[in-house]
Amino acid sequence: MPIDVLSAGLSTTVQDLGRPGYYHLGIPIGGAMDRYALRAANLLVGNPEDAACLEAVFLGPELAFSEDAVVAVTGAELPPKVDGETRETWTSFRIRAGQVLSFDYIRDGARSCIAVAGGIDTPPALGSRSTYAIGALGGFEGRAIQSGDRLPVGRADVSVAEGRTVSEKMRRNSGSPCELRVVTGLYWHRITEEAGGQFFEDTWKVASEADRMGYRFQGGRPLEFVDREPPFGAGSDPSNITDACYPYGSIQVPGGTEPIVLHRDAVSGGGYFMIGTVISADMDLIGQLQPHTDTRFLQVDMETALAARQERASMLDAIRQRLS
Amino acid sequence: MNEKTGPAQADSPGRHEVRAMLPGTFYRKPAPDQPNYKDPGDSVSVGDVLGLIEVMKSFHHVVCEHEGTLGEFLVDNEAPIKAGQVLAVIDNR
């Protein structure tokens, strides 16, 4: 049951929960920027949680269905429409053969997961259907979808009920200002105590250079570095280090001016100092940030980060129980 | 440059709103050292570029979908915008 792409949106890609295990070779995990939204969308339409969905960013695609389908749209508030009639987000709904799914203006958030019962059935690459566009890997021919594409859909039980929903209190909103919790890292000693304090005091704004690889922020005060003799291979800029591994969520600050948080399609290493790492529980929130959104970084310890991860897991368990 | 991202426009008799399809930053000129694409009072036709929206390291044309006279711009050059926000008005009475 293929889906015909009438218009593609801004950068709509096939994503699942990604391909762990290749980061040491420079291939990032990829997958949905908002993993909770992807899992919820799949649960709503009766798919395995890791089935592939379409991830739309800011602008929804227009999709023609040639057979009956059950669909759910989660994540950003990007209202779906079936033949022009609005449907609820975070709620399963039916599309009849011949109908067209389109979207209204995005109201809140940045990325929507569009799940179809049966899942998007493009061939897996390295164990995942996620599109890593920079590496031309996975998804639909290794790229964002385009008008004229026919997306394969897996066999599905389309008797899944319509109107299955994730209640509002079980959705997560990035808020404004968005608060991202950070554990400081190995290179914390490189900046002065005053600069470290300012980083967490200042309100930053999402810059236009924000995509699946990373999110750039601007508007806070520049960092002041501690004087040093540059170590071998680091170069003279005080924000440089001898090349090192970059964790997902790590915050590099090239030149000490604009922090960049690496996200799902991160590069795996390089020579910029990292002030710390956004905790795993808050990574989904970044994927929902629009440009110009006010953002604060909050310093937390590892114990808090692990408790937050546990809290996220419980939230997911609760919707699993309700929907399975 | 992405040509596909035109605005949707809400019609009322003789007045058409040019809305942003995307959130981002709005520009009225193709580059800082170049003149505005269009100014209020200019006559415009379907397909004319009225501005740019910058988002995710890319620029997207705001394309005119009605013939008429360009009225006022409701947002400043380089202003942050939301999707669905009215950028300008076209008068074709």
Residue A111 shares a structural domain with residue A185: no
Which of A140, A170, A200 terminates a domain? The answer is A170
Report if residue B5 sits inside a domain: no
Cα torsion angle, A44, A47, A50, A54, sign? negative
For B80, which of A58, A105, A291 is closest by C-beta distance?
A291
Residue A23 shares a structural domain with residue A138: yes
Tally of structural domains, chain A: 2
Report if residue B23 sits inside a domain: yes
For A291, which of B21, B23, B60 is closest by C-beta distance?
B23
Residue A99 shares a structural domain with residue A213: no
Chain B contact set for A291 (CB, 8 A): 23-25, 55, 80
Mutate to test the interface with A, among B4, B56, B78 (most CBs of A within 10 A): B56
Q: Which residue of B has its CA nearest to A212?
A: B56
- What is the rounded distance in angstroms from the CA atom of residue A311 to the CA atom of residue A313? 5
Asked if B84 has any chain A CB less than 8 Å from its own CB, the reply is yes
Q: Do A225 and A256 contact (CB within 8 A), yes or no?
A: yes
Report if residue A324 sits inside a domain: no
For A105, which of B24, B56, B83 is closest by C-beta distance?
B83
The A-side interface with B (CB below 8 A) comprises: 7-8, 10-11, 57-59, 104-107, 208-211, 290-292
Report if residue B6 sits inside a domain: no
Domain around A147 = 3-170
Report if residue A67 sits inside a domain: yes
Q: What is the CATH number of the domain that holds B21?
A: 2.40.50.100
Residue A10 shares a structural domain with residue A158: yes
- What is the rounded distance in angstroms from the CA atom of residue A266 to the CA atom of residue A214? 7
Backbone angles phi, psi at A295, to 5 degrees: -140, 135
Report if residue B39 sits inside a domain: yes
Report if residue B3 sits inside a domain: no
Tally of structural domains, chain B: 1
The token duo for A142 is 């290794």
Residue A10 shares a structural domain with residue A140: yes
ipTM of the complex: 0.83
Q: B72: distance to nearest CA of chain A, Å? A: 22
Asked if B59 has any chain A CB less than 8 Å from its own CB, the reply is no
Q: A147: distance to nearest CA of chain B, Å? A: 10
* pTM (predicted TM-score): 0.93
Domain around B17 = 11-91
User: pLDDT (tens digit, 0 to 9) for every residue of chain A, 324 residues total?
Assistant: 799 999 999 999 999 999 999 999 999 999 999 999 999 999 999 999 999 999 999 999 999 999 999 999 999 999 999 999 999 999 999 999 999 999 999 999 999 999 999 999 999 999 999 999 999 999 999 999 999 999 999 988 767 778 999 999 999 888 889 999 999 999 999 999 999 999 999 999 999 889 999 999 999 999 999 999 888 888 889 999 999 999 999 999 999 999 999 999 999 999 999 999 999 999 999 999 999 999 999 999 999 999 999 999 999 999 999 998
Sheet holding B86-91, edge to edge: B11-12, B15-19, B86-91, B68-73, B43-44
Q: Do A251 and A204 contact (CB within 8 A), yes or no?
A: no
Report if residue B2 sits inside a domain: no
